[in-house]
Amino acid sequence: MASRSALAVSTFLCLAALAALSAHAADPEEIRDFAPPADGAPPNASYFTFPGLRNIDVKQGQFANVTNVNVVSFPALSGLGVANALLVYPPGSVNVPHTHPRGTETLFLLEGTLEVGLIDTTLPVPVLFTQTLYKNDIFVFPRGLVHFQINKSKYVVRAYASFSSTNPGLVSLPRTLFGVHIDPEVLTKSFEVSSDIIAKLSAVQP
C-alpha cells in the first residue's frame, strides 16, 4: 500500500511539473530545423541574413530608438523561439517602463554606460533592482517583469537585446495606462492625483 501511495505521489508531481512547463511555454516547438521561405523558393544564405541594422539613423529625443528584429522583419526566425532588437539611446533618453509578457530579455551593452532597472514582484511588496551597465555587460529581464533603461550620459549608448520568444510582446506602462482612454476617475483614484494631472499624462500619449 505504501509503495502504491509513493507511486501515486510521484505520478502527481510529474504531471504537475509537466503542466507547469506547458503553461510557461512561450512558443510552440518547431518540428523542422527551420521554417522555409513562405513563397516556396529554396532557402539560400540571404534568407538567413538580416541586413537591416547596417545603417540606423539615430533620432534625437527623450526616447530610445528601438529597431526590432522579429519574425515580421526577419521571417527566418519563424518557429525558432527567438527575437532581437537594436536599441540606441541618445543622451538623456529613456526606454520607458514596460514588460514583455511572452519572453525573457537579455540586454548586451555594445557601447557607453546605461542605467537599468528591474522590478521584482515575487514578494508581496515589489522590489526595485538598479544597475549601471558598462560596455560588454549583460543584464537579464525575466519575462513579464517591469523594467526600463535610461542614458544619463552625454554620449550615444548602443545595446543589443535578445528575447526567448519569436514574439515577446510589449506592454508600455505609460501608453497602456494613459493612452487607451481608461475612465479618468479610475486613474485619479488609483494614483491619488487630480484629474488635471491625468489629463496631461493622457494628452502626451501617441
Tell me the binding residues for Mn(2+): 98, 100, 105, 147
Could you write out the DSSP letters of every residue in the chain? -HHHHHHHHHHHHHHHHHHHHHHT--SPPPSSSSPPPTT-PPP-GGGG---TTSSPPPPPSSB-EEEEESTTT-GGGTTSS-EEEEEEE-TT-EEEEEE-TT--EEEEEEES-EEEEEEE-SSSS-EEEEEEE-TT-EEEE-TT--EEEE--SSS-EEEEEEESSSS---EEHHHHHHSS---HHHHHHHHT--HHHHHHHHHT--
What residues form the annotated binding site?
A: 95, 98, 100, 105, 147
Alpha carbon distance 105, 88 (integer Å): 16
Output Rg (C-alpha) for the chain, integer angstroms: 22
Alpha carbon distance 17, 35 (integer Å): 30
Alpha carbon distance 51, 54 (integer Å): 6
What residues form the annotated binding site for oxalate?
A: 95, 100, 105
